[in-house]
């Protein structure tokens, strides 16, 4: 694309790579503001998928024929590319999964079941996605460990003093979301990782909403585990990533068994393949992994600093415009201190009704609890409407959002 870190994104040029954005509904051009759930997929990534199936489709690590060799090399190279994108040491630290949720479950079952016991503690936050909250909650039930939650204050920030109280020498795992998918809060994960390590605990960071939007360096962050999904960062569905420090992954036992993850099998016992294949049982997401590597190239061509700046600018603009409406409640930190999303409610109108009316104006948002039911309980609402932004969105589209909210108000007046 040749964008090479400009001061502002050439959004119109970027939009050319996303034909879906040209669709119209009821004579209105689509405004896609549901990127926190799934981003759209650019043409170079679509072409990478098509090219694989047209020219290289074969299973990996199992065949000596040319197609299998080519697919294996491309799939292995994809691990290297993703490792580079997040600052990992190498492919040994990058496990491909289906999504962030499976990455969480891999650690919870492979590490948590073996290591946690009564008296141990897992510390999370009140803003965790169900992928983390439910997973550690259920593992705690199986092991007798206790789960504790760092408070979220009235502005949507973590209570760091409360975190220091909760994390003790009994803590074995601190699992925190990097960017809240409901509040937009960007958490001080490096500080929380340090806090965990001060008490000899491990730290797991949920990067589902950070890797697509900002530069991430897992080595600098020093997290023991880090997880994210391809479909939120211009990649395909069906591919997630689990980063783990190599020495920890070496010590962990797999929890999915079968083909490809083994080294030697007898009728009596089995031994495991080297990293990362030890955690990738069965036929892996070959095409998806290759396409995810292409998505990394695409985003790096734009520049992750630019992606971050653009998303935050749109979120601030949307936050401020919605705040101007006297009957709209916006959740989370101030507009100039949040990730690329805004959750809100219009007066007494249910978020589902807001979303349905906005859809009539071809404005696509998300409505519900965003897989953060306990957080919504804390906020005192059953659901919220969420507009989330990405590299192809514009201020004009935010204006369309606000206009649609105005029309919703008129309908329910």
Closest to 357 measured CA to CA, from 407, 311, 313, 310: 407
Farthest CA pair distance, the chain: 72
- What region does 78 belong to: left with phi over 0, alpha with psi -120 to 50, or beta? alpha
Dist. CA 85–CA 70, nearest whole Å: 22
DSSP 392: T
Question: Residue 61: is the preceding peptide bond cis (ω within 30°)?
Answer: no
Alpha helix segments (H runs only) across 144-177: 160-166
DSSP 152: B
Provide the total of helices (H) and of strands (E) in the chain, helices listed first.
15, 17
Closest to 246 measured CA to CA, from 271, 279, 286: 279
How far separated are the first and last CA of the chain, in Å rounded? 47
Residue 67, number of CB atoms within 10 A of its CB:
13
Closest to 387 measured CA to CA, from 375, 377, 395: 395
DSSP 128-186: --HHHHHHHHHHHHHHT-EEEEE-B-TTS-B-HHHHHHH--TTEEEEEEESB-TTT--B
- What region does 279 belong to: left with phi over 0, alpha with psi -120 to 50, or beta? alpha
Dist. CA 235–CA 42, nearest whole Å: 8
Burial bucket for residue 55 (CB in 10 Å: 0-12, 13-18, 19+): exposed
Is 287 among the catalytic positions? no
Dist. CA 241–CA 232, nearest whole Å: 12
Tokens of 21: 């954005």
Dist. CA 343–CA 192, nearest whole Å: 25
Dist. CA 145–CA 121, nearest whole Å: 6
* Active-site annotation, residues: 371
């Amino acid at each position: 694309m040749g964008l090479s870190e400009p001061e502002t994104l050439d959004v119109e040029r970027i939009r050319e790579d996303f034909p879906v954005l040209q669709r119209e509904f009821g004579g209105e051009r689509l405004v896609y503001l549901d990127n926190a759930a799934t981003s759209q997929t650019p043409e170079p990534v679509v072409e990478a998928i098509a090219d694989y199936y047209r020219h290289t489709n074969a299973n990996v690590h199992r065949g000596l024929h040319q197609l299998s060799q080519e697919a294996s090399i491309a799939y292995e190279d994809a691990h290297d590319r993703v490792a580079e994108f997040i600052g990992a040491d190498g492919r040994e630290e990058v496990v491909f999964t289906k999504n962030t949720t499976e990455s969480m479950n891999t650690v919870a079952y492979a590490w948590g079941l073996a290591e946690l016991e009564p008296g141990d503690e897992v510390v999370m936050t009140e803003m965790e996605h169900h992928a983390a909250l439910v997973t550690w909650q259920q593992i705690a039930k199986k092991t007798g460990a206790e789960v504790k939650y760092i408070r979220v204050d009235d502005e949507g920030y973590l209570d760091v003093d409360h975190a220091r109280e909760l994390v003790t020498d009994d803590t074995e795992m601190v699992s925190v979301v990097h960017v809240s998918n409901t509040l937009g809060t960007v958490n001080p994960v490096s500080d929380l990782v340090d806090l965990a390590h001060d008490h000899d605990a491990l730290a797991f960071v949920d990067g589902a909403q950070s890797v697509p939007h900002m530069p991430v360096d897992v080595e600098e962050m020093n997290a023991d585990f880090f997880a994210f999904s391809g479909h939120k960062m211009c990649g395909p569905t069906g591919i997630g990533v689990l980063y783990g420090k190599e020495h920890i992954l070496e010590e962990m036992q797999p929890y999915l068994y079968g083909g490809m993850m083994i080294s030697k099998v007898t009728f009596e016992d089995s031994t495991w393949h080297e990293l990362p294949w030890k955690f990738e049982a069965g036929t892996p997401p070959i095409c998806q992994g290759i396409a995810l590597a292409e998505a990394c190239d695409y985003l790096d061509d734009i520049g992750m600093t630019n992606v971050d700046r653009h998303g935050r600018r749109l979120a601030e603009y949307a936050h401020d415009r919605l705040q101007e409406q006297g009957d709209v409640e916006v959740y989370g930190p101030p507009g100039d201190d949040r990730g690329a999303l805004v959750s809100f409610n219009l007066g007494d109108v249910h978020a589902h009704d807001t979303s349905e009316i906005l859809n009539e104006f071809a404005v696509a948002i998300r409505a519900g609890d965003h897989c953060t039911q306990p957080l919504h309980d804390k906020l005192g609402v059953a659901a919220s409407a969420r507009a989330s932004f990405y590299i192809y969105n514009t201020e004009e589209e935010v204006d369309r959002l606000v206009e649609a909210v105005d029309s919703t108000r008129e309908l329910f007046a």
